[in-house]
Amino acid sequence: GAMLYHMGRFEDSVEALNAGVTAENTDARAAAFYNRALSHERLGEIQLAYNDYRSALAVIPGYPPAARQLRRFSVLPASEAGS
């Protein structure tokens, strides 16, 4: 999945990483969520990216790559999100 991301094949990357997010190994699972989030962002799927960054942190609390990416996000109340 990560290789496909670096090749600019973001949709293929998401597809490949869908299996990785179910891995038993926590390091592999957190990395898969993180890499899938990067691909979602490149596809303009910001909410899906945000969810995957959060999932990476749920697998490994404090996972540095995901924590760094989440610092870029601002969460607004639903009443302000459409403004």
Residues in the chain: 83
C-beta of residue 20 within 8 angstroms of C-beta of residue 56: no
Identify the pLDDT of residue 75: 80
Tens digit of each residue's pLDDT (9 = 90 or more) over 2-23: 899 999 999 999 999 999 999 9
> How far apart (Å, rounded) are the C-alpha atoms in residues 81 and 57?
24
In sequence order, what E strands does the chain have?
A: none
pTM: 0.89
- Give 10-residue mean pLDDT values along the chain (83 residues): 93 95 96 97 96 98 97 85 58
Between CA 31 and CA 63 the distance in angstroms is 9
Q: Determine the pLDDT at residue 14.
A: 97
